[in-house]
Each structure stands twice: as C-alpha cells, then as structure tokens.
A and B are shown apart, each in its own frame.
Chain A
C-alpha cells in the first residue's frame, strides 16, 4: 500500500512479489520463482492439511473437530450425490480438493492478518490460478466424457427433442456455450474475489484520506465508509464461501454431463 503518496492503490494488493528463487529456479526456461502467491497457496495447503488431519480421527462418536471435517466432506459428497448420483463418489477426492482449496484460499485472503504485520494474498484473485483450476475441471469433463461415451459425447450438444431442422443451429450454440464454460468458471471466481478486495481497499482509502482531511470529512466520509467496510467484510466472507460452492457445484454439473450425458 503506497500510503506515503497520500492515497491507497487498490490493486497494489494483487502484485506478485518474488520471495526467493527469482533468477535461478526455472523449468524448461520458464521461471518458477517462489512468490507471495505461492507462499499463500502453501499456507492454504498446510492449514487445510492440519484441518482435515485433525478431524480424520475415525472415531465412532465424533468430536467437534471431526464433526466439522465430516460436515465438509459430507457436504461435498451430498453435492456430488445430488448432481451426479451414485457414480459421483469417485469424483469426491477431486471436487473436495477443489472446494476446500478455493474456500480456504478465499478465507485466508480475507483474514485481518495485516494487524500482525502480515499481508494476506488471495491467490484465487489471479486468473492464472482460477484459470488453471477451471481448465482442470474442464479437462476432466472432456476426458471422462470421451472415455465413457466416445464420439457419442457430441450428442450433448443436441438436447433431447430438438427438431432435425434445428440441429444445424442448435449444435453451434450448444458447442459455444460448452466451450465458454472454462472461461466463465475461472473468471467468475477471479472477478468475485478481486472485486471484493478492491472494494474493501477503496473504502479503506476513503477512511485514511477522510481521517487525514479533518474532523468534518472524518464524520462525513471516513466513519460511514468504515461502517460500510464492516458490512462488506461480512459480505465478502459470504462471497468467499459462495464462490467456492459455485465452483464445486458447476464442476459437479459439468461432470454430470460427462457421466450421464443427458
């Protein structure tokens, strides 16, 4: 945050900074420096492993922690069951990983860790990250679809009961809507996370500048902005959960297309 310049740059928080390995680390000529984004992905991974491992006690009567983990896995399992059916169980490891990773990354990015001098970085606010996740989901849909149904998978683009005359028109439309899926999937999450963080940053800029500008502006602009921030923080926590849910849900819906075709 370039507060020194007198105003807050709302997108500065998304800047990727190399932590180490900037010059030396490379695979096939591609630089793979360990950045703050990678660091927060690592933190997400560690927190997630601690959370799930703490609850994987396999006790018949679950404690609170085990109940929380079982609630999370049960939630994803129900999601798969409702959208795909019994065959959905085999996608549980992937969809659970996806849902849990996005949820934890979103939540960790919202933690008020700046109070302790740590600047949280939301890795899901980068479309390079959400795009890879979306492409993974889409690739699994394609692989499963073609492996299970072969070329018959193309009948997905001709909905049931389409008149023969309409097929030349419907087919391209369905194909395009299908091909747009990975983009909509990845961009939805990226945009939602980024918009929320920019909004919070802009409002915090109002609070800082308003407070510096004098008592009148403080009560007129800074204080309302501060209360608005509190509300938006709660909203962002909701969005963090909902976006993870939407990503997992849409993955389930797309997987259902591949698994059951129609």
Chain B
C-alpha cells in the first residue's frame, strides 16, 4: 500500500501542499466568495419577505378602504331613505290639504245648489197652486156658473194638494 510504504518520504510534502491548497480554498472561496453568495441569498430572501409584507399591508389597506367605503355607502343609503320618507310625508300632507280645500269648495257649491233647488221647487210649487186655483175657479164658473172667490179656490186647492 503506497500510503504506508511512501509515508516517510511523502508525508511532509502531502501535509504542506494540502495546507497550501486548502488554505487557498479557505481564504479565497470560504472567506472571500461564500459570504458574498450568502449575502446575495439573504438579500433575496429579505427582499421576498419584504415584498410579501408590503403586499400583505396593501391588502389590509384595501380591505380597510373597502370597509370604510361600505360604511359610507350604508350611511348615504340611510340618508337617502330618510329623505324619501320625509318627502313622502310632505307630499301626503300637501295632498291632504289640497284635498280638504277642494272638499270644502265642493261642499259649499253643493249646499248652494241644494238651496237654489229648494227655492226653485218652492217657487214652482207656489206657481202650481196659483195655476190650479185659477183653473178650479174657471172650471167652477163654467160648469156650475158659480163665482167663487179667489181665496176659497186657493184654500180648496191647497187642501187637495196637501192630501195628495
């Protein structure tokens, strides 16, 4: 086995060159390049974490915005609803008032008309009485040759009219 046979003659060279090349690897790569590689990786991980955090914050902000918008919208809707209710009440009141005025006017007109009708009827009735009395006087003088005074004829007609 050369590892043992050549041990005495080569160990110094082996150890020396190993230390030289391992030293180069350690200082050039281990101390020089690996930290840079790790810094790059850490920086990338940090950036990803930061970006995720920013996205999360943005999402939270959007949620809050939406929530406030919803509250605002609800408030406005409620205000609009109140406005509609008030307007409806006002309109109903106005209608009622107009209706009352109109009813009063109609009633008045109706009453006047009724009074006029009553007057006309009374007048008509009086005329009928007069005409009937004259007719009765005329009939009596022609058929019986009696001359009946106007008062009597009138009373008789009234009695007949009253009895129907």
Residue ranges of A at the interface with B (Cβ–Cβ < 8 Å): 11-12, 14-16, 18, 27, 30-35, 37-38, 41-42, 44-45, 48-49, 52-53, 55-56, 58-60, 69-70, 73-74, 77, 92-94, 96-97, 100-101, 123, 125-129, 132-133, 136, 190, 194
Contact = CB atoms under 8 A, between A and B. Distances in A.
Q: Is the interface of A mostly helix, strand, loop or mixed?
A: helix
A133 B7 CA distance: 17
Given A11-B1, A56-B33, A132-B14, 18 more contacts: A14-B3, A15-B2, A16-B10, A32-B17, A37-B14, A38-B14, A38-B17, A45-B25, A49-B28, A59-B40, A73-B38, A94-B26, A97-B25, A101-B22, A126-B3, A128-B11, A128-B15, A132-B22
B2 A133 contact: no
Interface string B23-62: 0111011110111111111011001000000000000000
A98 B144 CA distance: 167
Contacts of A101: 21-22, 25
Contacts of B43: 60
A94 B2 contact: no
Contact of B37 (A33, A69, A133): A69
Contacts of B9: 31
Nearest to A30: B12
Interface residues of B, number: 37
Contacts of A30: 12-13, 16
A33 B6 CA distance: 13
Given A31-B9, A32-B13, A56 B37 contact: yes
A74 B39 CA distance: 11
Contacts of B44: 60
Contact of A73 (B3, B16, B34, B47): B34
Contacts of A35: 10, 13-14, 17
Nearest to B7: A128
A75 B19 CA distance: 25
Interface of B: 1-3, 6-7, 9-19, 21-22, 24-26, 28-31, 33-41, 43-44, 47
A129 B20 CA distance: 12
A132 B25 CA distance: 15
B19 A70 contact: no
Nearest to B6: A16
A258 B69 CA distance: 60
Contact of B3 (A27, A34, A136, A194): A194
Contact of A93 (B2, B15, B17, B35): B35
Contacts of A74: 41
Contacts of B18: 41, 123, 128-129, 132-133
A48 B38 CA distance: 17
Contacts of B11: 128
Contacts of B13: 16, 18, 30-35, 37-38
Given A48-B29, A128-B10, A132-B19, A70 B37 contact: yes
B1 A97 contact: no
Contacts of A18: 13
Given A73-B34, A92-B34, A126 B40 contact: no
A18 B36 CA distance: 37
Contact of B26 (A11, A44, A97): A97
B24 A45 contact: yes
18 contacts: A14-B1, A16-B10, A16-B13, A18-B13, A27-B16, A34-B17, A37-B13, A37-B14, A56-B33, A56-B37, A93-B26, A93-B35, A96-B30, A97-B22, A97-B26, A128-B18, A129-B18, A132-B19
B134 to A, nearest CB: 130
A93 B14 contact: no
A60 B36 contact: no
Interface centre among A38, A77, A125 (most CB of B within 10 A): A38
